[in-house]
Amino acid sequence: MLPYVDDVEIDTALAWISGRLDGLAYLHAMTATDDFSGDRVGFHRRSANRYVQLFAAHGLRRVGPNLYAGPAVLATLTALEGPLEDPVDDTDVQ
């Protein structure tokens, strides 16, 4: 759903999620460079780096496929549990 929400609404939603997160959040998003089938009406073309920036602004870090942890959980993770390295995305799509 995130690719269909504008930046202001995503920022509001991520602030809400981060403020209440006591575990992991499943946050699925497709990027501008992903090849997917489905509805493109209202799709906001964002790079992977843009999503990383949006999530990081609220203390959310990727720990698995589409799984994000907030500060409370990040402090408890072992070395192999996360967080994962951020993706490298050379596109100029925001």
Percent of the chain at pLDDT > 70 equals 90
Confidence of residue 90 (pLDDT cuts 50, 70, 90): low
The pLDDT, as a whole number, for residue 83 is 82
Confidence of residue 88 (pLDDT cuts 50, 70, 90): low
pLDDT in tens, 41-78: 888 889 999 999 999 999 999 999 999 999 889 989 98
Domain ranges of the chain: 2-74
- Provide DSSP, the chain: -GGGS-HHHHHHHHHHHHHH-SSEEE-----TT----S--TT-----HHHHHHHHHTTT-EEEETTEEE-HHHHTT--TTT-PPPPPP------
pLDDT in tens, 10-28: 999 999 999 999 999 999 9
